[in-house]
Every structure is written in structure tokens, then in C-alpha cells.
Amino acid sequence: MSNIVAIVGRPNVGKSTLYNRLTESRKAIVDDFSGVTRDRHYGVSEWTDQKFTVIDTGGYVANSDELFEVAIREQVLIAIEEASVILFMVDVTTGITDLDDEIANILRKGKKPVFVVVNKLDNNAQMADATEFYSLGLGEIFTISSMTGSGTGELLDEVVKHFEDVPFEENERPKYAIIGRPNVGKSSIINALIGEERNIVTPIAGTTRDSIHIHFNKYGHDFMLIDTAGMRKKTKVKENIEFYSVMRTIKALEEADVVIIMIDAVEGMESQDVNLFHLAEKNKKGVVIVVNKWDLIEKNNKTIKVFEEQIKQKIAPFTDVPIIFTSVLEKQRLLRVIEVANQVYHNRARKIPTSKLNDVLLPVIENFPPPSTKGKYVKIKYVTQIAGASPMFAFFCNLPQYVKEPYYRFIENQLREHFEFSGAPVQVWFRQK
């Protein structure tokens, strides 16, 4: 599924306030990374059980004044091309400005669903002012206050109606996306994999023009590789190159079962790589980390351990992720990447029979029960796996509300220790028996 909601509009209308509201995480644990949030303009949101990615286009605006309007115009065009739904945000306190008019002109020519979101309606008295925005000629308007959240529910109810379901046949083969910052070696590895036996590789044009799906049936594996590297686009504004590549990366990520995050050994895991990791994690995708250009690193017998430790510190607490050290230049461990992606694909799809789960975990729980809170004891009766695309487990007990975060971690680690879930997201729930 590839559902991207792009928030467009001129500065100061409240885009990032809405973005923050939509991506506010219910489970703060995965989001609490100081230093990372600052430069993050895309994130996962969820409404009525439907996940989608939100992009705050304002995060990619050029600094210089002359370029500024060009940049916004270009972003709107990219959003029309790449997003599933566009939220065009305007400000009730200023009314329609020239730039609003200009953006509306571009949006009217596009074919994507557009919602006019009139923001800063903090009280009902402003409702009459909002009607002015019908004159933008983009249909229905939605009045909200990003600050308080009022009106956002009604808006999202409509937005999710425009999401696409994935056609069934697309789900048959494992899909791996190779993502990462420019120049890490994504095209090189794809070329190397294709190059060895060109005749059994069929490039299939993807649903969108430059997203290429390559079908491999070799090395004993039948899979699709989603190539994000080929997508380079000419833009007038430097910041939009990143905006565009982020859009394409998110789409590839959402389509994939397993995300191969490639980093440059010389540069290490940077905040942008960590963002991609968390996006994959939040989308419940399988993850493999590939450290490429390993040939450029001076090595001794501790180098791999040191690298692994550094990466794990940055991706904690989800550290049960395979890390592979490759050199495309020297053709080292390239097939290993595919083998491991395939293992992760199976780990993510793994189903554990209920009897086995209980046999293994109930004794562990008996030895290490949840600590008592306010004199209350949690008694866990049994555990079962819940059907879904990634591993999810429900632990039935008397007082689920008393189970604290550390115990969730403990249980997740036990699941990972006893069963093979490397690279796969594992979700744990405690439920009332």
C-alpha cells in the first residue's frame, strides 16, 4: 500500500502544526529520539486502522526569498505526481492571498484528490470567513484548528476514502526495496545483481513512470526489487531534489515487504538513515541494513563489532536487525544481501502455533512475572499469535493496564530469543482475559 498525504500551502498557515498532530505517536517509545525529530518532515499516521505517510512540504522550502515561490510551485507539482491525497492548507485569519491563488491554479490542473483545509478556526465566529475559500474552485472545504485538533477527524474520515487498495497479484512475490541516501551505492548493487545473468531479469515498469520494479528469478529466489535509485529528476531548486527523493523512497518503502537500508561505510549511519529506519519500523516492514563501500575501511578484527555497536545504538530499541557489510566494487557479499532479505521476509511472515508459544513462554513468564503495581498482581493466562502481515502476539491476562513498558520489551526479547524474528517487527499486546 502506498498512501502518501502531502500537506501543501504557503508558509505560516499551520502545516507543521497539523503534521505534528497527525504523526504524534501513541507509543512514545519509538519516537523519543532527541535530535532526530528536528529534521523529520515525514512520518506515519493512522486513522480508522489505515496507515499512511504524511509529508510536510514546508520542511523542504528554500531559504532564499527569490527562490521561494519557485520552490513552492515545484513542490506542489511533485506532490500532484507522487501523493495519493493533497491537503491544501490556507489560513482563515488572512483570507486568500496571491500565493494561495497560484497554488490553487496548479492544483486545479492536477488529477489528484485535493482537500482545501481552512486552518486556524479556533472559534465558531470565524466560520463565516471560511466560506471565502470556496472561491478557490477546488470544491468542498474543511475547517479545522491544527492547534486544538478540532475538525481533523472529519477531514481524515474523507481522506482515507481516497486510499487505494493493493491489487492482489502484486502481493504474490516478495518485494524488496533498496533505499538510502544518494551515492551510497544503490544503483551499483542493482546493476551488479542484474549484470551477472542479464537474460533472466525482466524490468517491469512500475505503476508510476520512474519507479522500476525488477523481477528476479535467480540465485534460487523469485522476488521483486524496487529500484529507487534510477529516479533522478531535474529540479530548479536544490531542496526539492531531497523532497522528491523522499517522496519516491517512501513510496518504495510502503510497497515493499522488506526494506534494505543501504548506508555508506565511510559516513556511517546518519540521522536521515535513522529516519528511514523508523519509517520502516512504523510501517511494520522487515529491515536489513547494508553497510556498503566496506573496501574503503581500514579493518582489524574488531572493526565489524564496533560498526555493529554504533549502528545498534542508533536504532535501539529495535536492534534485532541483520547488518551486512558489502563492497559492490569488490563484489563482496552481494548475494548475501538477497539471501538475508529473503530470511527476513520469512521471519516477518512466521506463524508460531499457539501450543508451542504457550509451552515456551508460560514457564518464562512464571519465572519472571510482571512486577506488581500498587499491590496488584498481573496473571498471564495464555498467549496467541494474531493474524496479520507481521508478527503480533496477544497475551491474555487479568489486569493488562498494569503491564508497563519494560515488561513489553522483556516479552518481545523473549519472543526474539526463542523464535527467529530477526529483521521483523514484533508487536506485543496485553489483553483482558
Q: Which residues bind ligand GDP (CB under 6 A)?
A: 9, 11-17, 58, 119-120, 122, 145-147, 180, 182-188, 229, 292-293, 295-296, 327-329
Q: Do the annotations mark residue 137 as ligand-binding?
A: no
Nearer to ligand GDP, 212 or 411 (CB): 212
Q: Do the annotations mark residue 217 as ligand-binding?
A: no
Q: Do the annotations mark residue 358 as ligand-binding?
A: no
Q: Do the annotations mark residue 180 as ligand-binding?
A: yes
Report the C-alpha gap between 180 and 262 in whole angstroms: 5
Q: Do the annotations mark residue 182 as ligand-binding?
A: yes
Nearest distance, CB of residue 129 and ligand GDP, angstroms:
13
Nearer to ligand GDP, 13 or 155 (CB): 13
Nearer to ligand GDP, 9 or 286 (CB): 9
Q: Do the annotations mark residue 398 as ligand-binding?
A: no
Nearest distance, CB of residue 373 and ligand GDP, angstroms:
38
Type of residue at 107: L
Q: Do the annotations mark residue 63 as ligand-binding?
A: no
Nearest distance, CB of residue 4 and ligand GDP, angstroms:
18
Nearest distance, CB of residue 183 and ligand GDP, angstroms:
4
Q: Do the annotations mark residue 227 as ligand-binding?
A: yes
Nearer to ligand GDP, 57 or 343 (CB): 57
Nearest distance, CB of residue 323 and ligand GDP, angstroms:
15
Q: Do the annotations mark residue 10 as ligand-binding?
A: yes
Three-state SS sequence of the chain: CCCEEEEECCCCCCHHHHHHHHHCCCCHHHCCCCCCHHHCCEEEEEECCEEEEEEEHHHHCCCCHHHHHHHHHHHHHHHHHHCCEEEEEEECCCCCCHHHHHHHHHHHHCCCCEEEEEECCCCHHHHHHHHHHHHHCCCCEEECCCCCCCCHHHHHHHHHHHCCCCCHHHHCCCEEEEECCCCCCHHHHHHHHHHHCHHHEEEEECCCCCCEEEEEEECCEEEEEEECCCCCCCCCCHHHHHHHHHHHHHHHHHHCCEEEEEEECCCCCCHHHHHHHHHHHHCCCEEEEEEECHHHCCCCCCHHHHHHHHHHHHHCCCCCCCEEECECCCCECHHHHHHHHHHHHHHHHCCCCHHHHHHHHHHHHHHCCCCCECCECCCEEEEEEECCCCCEEEEEECCHHHCCHHHHHHHHHHHHHHCCCCCCCCEEEEEEC
Report the C-alpha gap between 71 and 240 in whole angstroms: 7
Q: Do the annotations mark residue 121 as ligand-binding?
A: yes
Nearer to ligand GDP, 73 or 120 (CB): 120
Count of alpha carbons within 13 Å of 66, Cβ hemisphere only? 1
Nearer to ligand GDP, 45 or 188 (CB): 188
Nearer to ligand GDP, 11 or 371 (CB): 11
Q: Do the annotations mark residue 184 as ligand-binding?
A: yes
Report the C-alpha gap between 416 and 404 in whole angstroms: 19
Nearer to ligand GDP, 201 or 329 (CB): 329
Nearest distance, CB of residue 88 and ligand GDP, angstroms:
12
Report the C-alpha gap between 382 and 11 in whole angstroms: 53
Q: Do the annotations mark residue 148 as ligand-binding?
A: no
Type of residue at 48: T
Nearest distance, CB of residue 320 and ligand GDP, angstroms:
26
Report the C-alpha gap between 301 and 289 in whole angstroms: 20
Nearer to ligand GDP, 93 or 354 (CB): 93
Nearest distance, CB of residue 417 and ligand GDP, angstroms:
34
Nearest distance, CB of residue 367 and ligand GDP, angstroms:
47
Task: Please give the annotated binding residues, written as ranges.
Answer: 9-16, 56-60, 119-122, 180-187, 227-231, 292-295
Task: Please give the annotated binding residues for GTP, written as ranges.
Answer: 9-16, 56-60, 119-122, 180-187, 227-231, 292-295
